[in-house]
């Protein structure tokens, strides 16, 4: 499993590069990344569930122009790996829900990483100056290698942290609560479609409402199972 997770991390970091750094052929979208990353771990179904849920959750937040939203691609790279690992000791739908809950903060971490890399690349452009095509090509290569290295290291770190949190949570959560985690993908779908219909960008104040709504749905699911 360790080797499979390592391959998944490397694949996830590579696909994440498509978001802003290379190609931009949409393979960094969660609905694509989730299955591909999990396929490297031999768990296609879990990755598809995670990817589709996160795709719809951030459907209304593309990184266009100067607007840099939370990094749904980075979150998917981490969540798909964690879900694939968690499915080894808990049912698939519960593993997907738990991984999404544990890995949502990684979207903010990914945005911070993206911002840092962009600023570092601006420094490379100033260093290149009027030195010619060869120097500029070397700078581009340096930027790509740096971005992939940092992405791979960051995804690996987040997988380790979030995976440990998911494992610890699976040990202490009551069985009804664990079963209620199966509704997390549904919550993501509802939240994403609602945002798309309203045509509003996510704001900080909406985090509390999302958390309250999620807690209420978990409570309802819990009460229906006990």
Q: Is-contact 215 181, C-beta < 8 A? A: no
Would you kindly state where each structural domain of the chain is located, as residue ranges?
2-225
Burial of 34 (0-12, 13-18, 19+ CB in 10 A): buried
User: CA angle 75-40-92, nearest 5°?
Assistant: 65
CA–CA dist 163, 157 (Å, integer): 10
- Scan for tokens 């499915």, then name that residue: 87
- Quickly state the pLDDT bin for 157 (edges 50, 70, 90): very high
> Residue 157 corresponds to which tokens in the numbers above?
């770190």
Phi/psi at 137 (5° precision): -60, -40
pLDDT digits (tens, 9 = 90+) for 158-194: 999 998 988 888 888 777 777 777 777 777 777 776 6
Mean pLDDT of 140-162: 85
pLDDT higher than 70, residue 197: no
Contacts of 130 by beta carbon, 8 Å cutoff, 6+ apart: none
Mean pLDDT of 6-28: 84
CA quadruple 124, 125, 129, 134: dihedral positive or negative?
positive
C-alpha pair distances (Å), 143 with each of 15, 24, 196, 203, 219: 16, 16, 34, 31, 47
Burial of 124 (0-12, 13-18, 19+ CB in 10 A): middle
pLDDT digits (tens, 9 = 90+) for 67-111: 667 888 899 999 898 988 888 888 888 888 888 888 888 888 988
124 or 71, greater pLDDT: 71
> Which 8-state DSSP code applies to residue 58?
T
- 5-14, 26-35, 79-88, 127-136: segment of lowest average pLDDT: 127-136
pTM of the entire predicted model: 0.78
Residues for the chain: how many in total? 226
Q: Given this model, what pLDDT does residue 65 score?
A: 59
């Amino acid at each position: 499993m360790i080797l499979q997770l390592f391959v998944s991390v490397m694949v996830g970091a590579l696909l994440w590069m498509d978001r802003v750094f290379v190609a931009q052929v949409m393979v960094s979208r969660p609905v694509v990344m989730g299955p591909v990353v999990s396929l490297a771990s031999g768990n296609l179904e879990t990755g598809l569930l995670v990817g589709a849920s996160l795709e719809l959750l951030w459907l209304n937040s593309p990184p266009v122009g100067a607007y840099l939203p939370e990094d749904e691609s980075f979150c998917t790279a981490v969540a798909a790996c964690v879900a694939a690992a968690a499915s080894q000791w808990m049912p698939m739908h519960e593993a997907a829900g738990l991984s999404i809950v544990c890995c949502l903060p990684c979207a903010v971490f990914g945005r911070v990483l993206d911002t840092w890399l962009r600023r570092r690349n601006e420094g490379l452009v100033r260093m290149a100056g009027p030195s010619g095509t060869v120097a500029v090509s070397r700078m581009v290569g340096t930027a790509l290698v740096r971005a992939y290295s940092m992405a791979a290291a960051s995804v690996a770190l987040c997988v380790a942290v979030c995976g440990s949190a998911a494992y610890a949570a699976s040990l202490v959560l009551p069985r009804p609560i664990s079963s209620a985690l199966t509704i997390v993908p549904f919550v993501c779908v509802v939240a994403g479609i609602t945002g798309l219909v309203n045509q509003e960008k996510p704001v900080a104040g909406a985090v509390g409402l999302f958390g309250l709504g999620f807690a209420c749905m978990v409570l309802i699911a819990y009460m229906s199972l006990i």
